[in-house]
Structure 1
Amino acid sequence: MQSSGLNPEVLPYYRQEAPKTPHHIILHYSAFKTIWDWMILILTFYTSVMVPYNAAFRSKTIGDIPLLVVDSVVDVIFFLDIVLNFHTTFVGPAGEIVSDPKIIRMNYLKSWFVVDLLSCLPYDVFNAFQHVNESISSLFSALKVVRLLRLGRVARKLDHYIEYGAAVLVLLIFMFVLIAHWFACIWFTIGDSEARAGISYGWLHRLSREVGPLYYYSNTSTSPPHWEGGPSSTMAYATALYFTLSCMTSVGFGNVSAYTELEKIFSVFMMIFGSLLYATIFGNVTTIFQQMYSTTGKYHEMLNNVREYMRLHDVPKALNERVMDYVVSTWAITKGLDAQKVLDYCPKDMKADICVHLHRKIFTEQPAFRLASDGCLRALAINFTTSHCAPGDVLFHQGESLDSLCFIVSGSLEVVQDDEVVAILSKGDVFGDLFWKECNVVQSAANVRALTYCDLNIIKRDRLLEVLDFYHAFALSFARNLTLTYNLRHRVSQSFTVLFNLLHNQIKL
């Protein structure tokens, strides 16, 4: 039977490739996009403050070139944001990150594109021209309110901003003041329209009689009859904001009040809405502060529990101080974070990658691991644990089961045998037992005590033997290249102890 050969060039080549994001696509969680979103947030609040004020007080951009330039620059930045949104990834319905340019564009066109586009139109440029018909000018001034649609950008990114407790508190307070600002602009618009209609008992007319200038009726040949004068824009706005804030906070001093029907109707609506808003925002302040200081609360709760436990069981003072020192120093490093719980969130492959990164120092500095394959290192990393020790902590007591191999990452330890220091261990040293050469578990022949704050990477005997049994080639290299600084299986002779003490005393001198 003749077998036919296959041309390798026509055979499909299968391999697993990590998904790649096109170069012109921006990741929605990138640092650049985060900074850009915060800048858009600031500019959005600028717009939400200035647009109602300009519309209410009929500020003409003509003759106010700096304001026109600033608003034009803001419009350009918001237009650039539209362009960036066409090139920014988003999270799909199934939780996947969508990076396909066509899908991104269609999704944006169907969602926020129209709103963002309407908020970017240069209404100030239109209004900068002198119109023959005053109604056209008023129309363009009113159209500037459309820019408040930019607040939609904040709404759809709110889940991103609420990750920061302090930012949430600032946003809530600013939102309360912002709504009071809007109400103040509406309150002034009501008073101004009624004052210019000749209603002399409105709040603006009363304010003009108290602080001046007074309203007066102008009837000249060059213009139709109308009311002019009244308080300055600064005084009118300050009074309006004072009134709205006093109503929304349920204070209501009464020195500024509603007099006309329209003013009273608006005041009733503002009081109802303001009370609900006040309760919603400031009712959550306590919760926000609790979230901001939750870690500090856990820390003090833990310290109180430890102190109460020590007092309840009458723990000796020396041991009590050691425990408190260990608890405080450990918290300073971990901030109360349960590392194992974080690793449990991750799948096995990702967990192994994190563990390799955490123990990278011993893998790169210890000659015993240099010939280990990637799979072998991952198997070892998962079984390693990190231990933090405070001065005075005893890692091994004489007579305890010797079931761990320890690698010193930082700090110094002493080995004590029969109340005599027989060795000083420091960064890069390894102590324990040669498990791969011995078949039984023995008792430790000495105490190992921390002299300073120490960090160690530790692997249990059973876990290490499992890895060595599976990776035979690595087992031979590991046994040949690992140098055990101190073997706790064996006792040190008395003559060696005397020699070590002499050398140790010479070093001190």
Structure 2
Amino acid sequence: MKELLDRWYLGWKQFILIWAVYSSFFTPLEFGFFRGLPEKLFLLDSAGQLAFFIDIFLHFFLAFKDPHSHRLVSNHNQIAIRYLKSRFILDFLGCLPLDAIYKACNRNEVVRYLLWIRLSRALRVTEFFEALEKDIRINYLFTRIIKLFVVELYCTHTAACFFYYLATTLPPAQEGYTWIGSLKMGDYNYSEFRDIDLWTRYITSLYFAIVTMATVGQPTLTPFYISPLLPGQL
């Protein structure tokens, strides 16, 4: 019975790890592009919140090793106290229906910043890579390369979402002067960028984030405004 439960929980850890990766990438996307995200993505996110809520419940029954005696502690009171003192608050706040709270608070923009609490789930991904680095069956260099690639991808993704969010913080009359609102590619105009499909806006934001962080972009561009260029500066 114990072996069956151990296998079941290992399978659950892998399942919740997938949701942790999804939530880590979806949270910046939801924060930056929330005004134009498809409804299906929010339904998928709701399924993830349910999975994390179940995970909170399971943590109240998960035995742990005492750091001093190295004995396995299975007392439910001690397990509950340990979890309540560690990551319970962050886990619980991350499972709150923040979209409903945001609407109930008359769409107060400050409430939306609570979304970043869900990034605490990225610790599960960090713990996963730490376990891989200690596994002698897996090449350490390969693990480090994959970890570096994931971190770089995540940083670029988050920067892209944040840059787009900055462009939406200005009044509609001034959005044409933002980095994306003033963008033109041939005959393609981004002045009404909110009406452009999500994928195009995301790829454009991703490109802007890459060239900005790589310092190869136009130095007169900022996330908010585009500065006018003089003829001699072209």
Q: Which residue of 1 aligns with 2:231?
A: none
How far does residue 125 in structure 1 lie from its aligned partner after superposition? Answer: 4.2
Q: Which residue of 1 aligns with 2:205?
A: 240
Q: Which residue of 2 aligns with 1:147?
A: 118
| Distance 1:109-1:155 versus aligned 2 partners, 3 A rule | farther
Matches for 1:226-305 after TM superposition, within 5 Å = 232-248=197-213, 250=214, 252-254=215-217, 258-260=220-222
Matches for 1:13-28 after TM superposition, within 5 Å = none
CA–CA separation in structure 2 for the residues paired with 1:49 and 1:191: 20
CA–CA separation in structure 1 for the residues paired with 2:173 and 2:127: 42
CA–CA separation in structure 2 for the residues paired with 1:104 and 1:194: 48
How far does residue 156 in structure 1 lie from its aligned partner after superposition? Answer: 4.9
CA–CA separation in structure 2 for the residues paired with 1:209 and 1:230: 16
Residue identity in the other structure for 2:30: N
Q: Secondary structure at the match of 1:115?
A: helix
Q: Is the 8 A contact 1:47 1:148 kept in 2?
A: yes
* Alignment counterpart, residue 53 of structure 2, candidates 79, 89, 99: 79
Q: Which residue of 2 aligns with 1:179?
A: 155
How far does residue 110 in structure 1 lie from its aligned partner after superposition? Answer: 0.7
CA–CA separation in structure 2 for the residues paired with 1:167 and 1:263: 40
* Alignment counterpart, residue 110 of structure 1, candidates 85, 88, 93: 85
TM-score, scaled relative to structure 2 = 0.74
Q: Secondary structure at the match of 1:193?
A: coil
Q: Is the 8 A contact 1:124 1:144 kept in 2?
A: no
Matches for 1:239-388 after TM superposition, within 5 Å = 239-248=204-213, 250=214, 252-254=215-217, 258-260=220-222
CA–CA separation in structure 1 for the residues paired with 2:47 and 2:66: 33
Q: Secondary structure at the match of 1:205?
A: coil
How far does residue 238 in structure 1 lie from its aligned partner after superposition? Answer: 0.9
- 2:14 matches 1:38: yes
How far does residue 60 in structure 1 lie from its aligned partner after superposition? Answer: 6.0
* Alignment counterpart, residue 41 of structure 2, candidates 47, 63, 67: 67
How far does residue 117 in structure 1 lie from its aligned partner after superposition? Answer: 0.7
* Structure number with higher relative contact order (C-alpha < 8 Å, ≥ 6 residues apart): 2
Q: Which residue of 2 aligns with 1:58?
A: 34
Q: Secondary structure at the match of 1:76?
A: helix
Percentage of matched positions with identical amino acids: 26
CA–CA separation in structure 2 for the residues paired with 1:91 and 1:245: 44
Q: Is the 8 A contact 2:157 2:206 kept in 1?
A: yes
What count of residue pairs does the alignment treat as equivalent? 218
| Distance 1:199-1:214 versus aligned 2 partners, 3 A rule | closer
TM-score, scaled relative to structure 1 = 0.37
Bigger radius of gyration: 1
Q: Deviations over 1:288-340 (max 9, x none)?
A: xxxxxxxxxxxxxxxxxxxxxxxxxxxxxxxxxxxxxxxxxxxxxxxxxxxxx
CA–CA separation in structure 2 for the residues paired with 1:83 and 1:177: 32
The structure richer in helix per residue is 2
Task: Could you tell me which runs of 5 or more consecutive residues in structure 2 were left unpaired when the two chains were aligned.
Answer: 227-234
Q: Which residue of 2 aligns with 1:269?
A: none
Residue identity in the other structure for 1:84: L
How far does residue 100 in structure 1 lie from its aligned partner after superposition? Answer: 2.2
The structure richer in strand per residue is 1
